Amino acid sequence: MSKSLAKAKGFKKTRAGTYFSIATTLFGAVSVAKQLKQARVDDDKLRLLDSAISAAAIATGVAILLRELRRMNDDDILAG
């Protein structure tokens, strides 16, 4: 494994990497919101279901990332 690849993988485990993951996950919510709006306009039940499942996946992903962020803060002696 190259050094830069290892460095990039390590970034995910940092506080900044976690914030970045939260931001990119929430950015996906914009797409889901547009899909949900269009499904309502078209009265498409299948797309509504798909949007609801996608929204649940985003909410779960953000909750997991927030939990990881809290764990990082708990491990940080200086955080108090």
Spatial distance between the Cα atoms of 4 and 38, rounded to a whole number of angstroms: 41
d(CA 20, CA 24): 6
pTM: 0.72
Alpha carbons 4 and 31: distance in angstroms, whole number:
31
pLDDT over threshold 60, residue 71: yes
Lookup result for tokens 């919101």: 33
Per-residue model confidence as pLDDT tens digits over 4-63: 656 656 666 788 899 999 999 999 999 999 999 999 999 999 999 999 999 999 999 999
Reported as half-sphere exposure (CB side, CA atoms, 13 A), residue 5 has a value of 2
Domain spans in the chain, listed from the N-terminal domain onward: 12-79
**Which amino acid, one-letter code, is at 12?**
K
